[in-house]
Amino acid sequence: MQIWPGRPYPLGATYDGTGTNFALFSGVAERVELCLFDADGTETRLDLPEVDAFVWHGYVPGLAPGQRYGYRVHGPYDPAQGHRCDPSKLLLDPYAKAIDGQIDGDASLFSYRFDAPDERNEDDSRGHTMTSVVVNPFFDWGHDRPPQHEYHESVIYEAHVKGLTQLHPAVPEELRGTYAGLAHPAVIEHLTSLGVTAIELMPVHQFVNDPTLQERGLSNYWGYNTIGFFAPHNAYASLASSGQQVQEFKSMVKALHEANIEVILDVVYNHTAEGNHLGPTLSFRGIDNASYYRLVDEDPAHYFDTTGTGNSLLMRSPHVLQLIMDSLRYWVTEMHVDGFRFDLAATLARQFHEVDRLSAFFDIVQQDPVISQVKLIAEPWDLGDGGYQVGGFPPLWSEWNGDYRDTVRDFWRGEPSTLGQFASRLTGSSDLYAHTGRRPIASINFVTAHDGFTLADLVSYNEKHNEANGEENRDGESHNRSWNCGAEGPTDDQAIRTLRGRQQRNFLATLLLSQGVPMIAHGDEIGRSQGGNNNGYCQDNEITWVDWDLDEDGMSLLEFTRRLVHLRRDHPVFRQRRFFAGSADHGGESDLHDIAWLTPTGGPMEDSAWDSEHAFAVQVFLNGDAIDEPDMRGQDIVDDSFLLLFNGHWEKSQFQLPGADYGAVWTAVLDTDATVPAGKQIKARGKVQLAPRSMVLLTRPPVTERPTASGGGVAAGASSEAARIVRATS
């Protein structure tokens, strides 16, 4: 087999129609062998003939897609100096576009002996590790184009490829748990009818299934254990052919785009699956350990870990930064994804030891013409010192707002002195973001996510129940801000079940009527439960899979969630691009404030009312005539006005609506307790009785005329929510 000099760029294996170019960075290698595998496992080794700027490269004519390959890197093995090259270990290409197989936990994967850790293990890992695959880069995208939903119009749906589809009865059995299953019309119909604009997929980069979990009969379900930053996870492919996961992933993206749904990937660029100094040698460790990983300065045999996984990538290394940026660009340009959510993103900001929002990573993202134009979402914390950075990321970024989650949970479970914080979270968290020039879209609002209780479990359990994880219930968060409503777990007590249903509706209504960008965790819209397990990372089974066999409560909750999403979509007053001014000087067409905070008696909220530890109720006036922003055609936005009545108290509360200045007649839109019927009309200064822990939404038509597409007007309120409800109920 011939090998020609080839080119040092692009890195990875690149098929050009007549052969494949291979390029691998290593600053310490003395020799690099390209290992090619036949269908029967026969290995052919070829020395890469050239090296330029530490990139080893060669071109193999006639080598086609589907070819499995790996590397053996010859160089220093001196852990005390941070070097761990080991040619006995078959290594994955860091730029592999597809990966075949999984590791099996064999001792040959480790460069030391279990019975004598100071002794080197030179057993060959071939047959016990994964191999890289040359892929066909060509795909018929047809007329595919990104939906490019504006942030403020987005509703994000966090989902797991397998968990969402594994039990779906309409998905053919052979497609369940796969990219093709996610692209099935039945799944897409659920997403479109719900009204979500983007699906945020939990990790789909190739990850490692931990042998330690497999020994306990468990597996790495979540996937936060990446080993291939360019490769779609092979276990999610329905196609058996090696490398076909790339084609199937692209087909999934194409189908979701056709349904006007964006695809956001949850990505893990803070660490790899190789773990700490006792982990296996799979790729980066054996190629150039000190260039890829943060090592302890005084003891480079060990790893500096801010992720809790054993290692952290070295964010001041130009080669690590190049790897991450090349990966991000590949997923946007070649795989057509629309954005990224960065796991433990504070680690990416640790250029040295402290978290620095002006680190090199953020600089290169800011100037990149491709990555800077897609959705960038940070999980703004890690486990290191100063790692909690909610509100601390640069203006280009949005963040998972952990303060929103905690405050909303506290308010609805009746914690004292939460009303002021609740008001801040409801209106976009300007206290966290406005000081750096950011807007409400900086806040990704969520009440639940993959990590922690589901929504149904949040209102059903006071304590975590993670016994199935095999860690004696020590794993997972212990302070969940949850409340079981009077009984731990399932109950036949109808009063408790009714309260739990109302609490779920309270959380969903708060989430979807808040300023910012809402995120729903998959299955929360149908009451999905994990039986109190708040750390399902290792449960690839019915505990974490979405159960689509809906009872009456599940169907009712689904319909309620749909109504809320559509209400948000139809009314820009709930999804404004700018923070409220809190005054009448807002540039709109109304003399009233753009927002007003009122007591349950209809008067203005005083400072003492906010500060009271016994304050659990408030009215919020959102003025649809005072939206201080134009639409995409430059015309003023006019909307219905709304009153949101919140009763977080454990007792009934009577509300008196404000005077006629705010509206002569109000129409009920929804009540999380369902005692105030939709369509009911209430006059100014009229009274409304709210059930314990409930909220009511009222509306009135706009005072000014709505603009039409041609710039003219229509009769005030002709398309208002109030008119729609009256028609629907008459």
Point out the residues that are catalytic.
343, 379
Q: Is 674 exposed, middle or buried (0-12, 13-18, 19+ CB in 10 A)?
A: middle
Pairing of strands 198-201, 262-267: parallel
Radius of gyration (C-alpha) of the chain in whole angstroms: 28
Distance separating alpha carbons of residues 243 and 250, to the nearest angstrom:
12
3-state secondary structure of 646: strand
Distance separating alpha carbons of residues 643 and 699, to the nearest angstrom:
6
Task: Please tell me the chain's helix, strand, coil percentages from 3-state DSSP, rounded to the nearest 5.
Answer: 25, 20, 50
Q: Which amino acid is at 432?
A: L
Per-residue CA distances from 481 to 340, 424, 450, 613, 618 (Å)? 28, 19, 16, 18, 22
Distance separating alpha carbons of residues 151 and 645, to the nearest angstrom:
27
Helices marked H in 601-665:
607-611
> How many other C-beta atoms are found inside a 10 Å radius of the C-beta of residue 586?
21
Which of 453, 468, 449, 474 lies closest to 541 in space, CA to CA?
468
What DSSP state is assigned to residue 91?
A: B
Distance separating alpha carbons of residues 725 and 723, to the nearest angstrom:
5
Helices marked H in 304-348:
318-333
Which of 371, 338, 366, 398 lies closest to 148 in space, CA to CA?
338
Backbone angles phi, psi at 707, to 5 degrees: -75, 150
Asked if 253 and 263 count as a contact pair (C-beta separation under 8 A), the reply is yes
Which of 650, 661, 655, 659 lies closest to 692 in space, CA to CA?
650
Instruction: Extract the tokens encoding 456.
Output: 């149904």
Backbone angles phi, psi at 114, to 5 degrees: -60, -40
Cβ-Cβ contacts under 8 Å for 27 (sequence gap 6 or more): 54, 288, 291, 319
Cis preceding linkage at 707, omega within 30: no
Instruction: Extract the tokens encoding 469.
Output: 């994880």
Distance separating alpha carbons of residues 612 and 416, to the nearest angstrom:
8
Which of 379, 376, 382, 380 lies closest to 397 in space, CA to CA?
376
Asked if 377 and 612 count as a contact pair (C-beta separation under 8 A), the reply is no
Cα dihedral across residues 661, 664, 668, 669: positive or negative: negative
Reported residue count of the chain is 730
| Segment (H or E) for 697 | strand 694-700
Which of 534, 385, 402 lies closest to 458 in space, CA to CA?
534
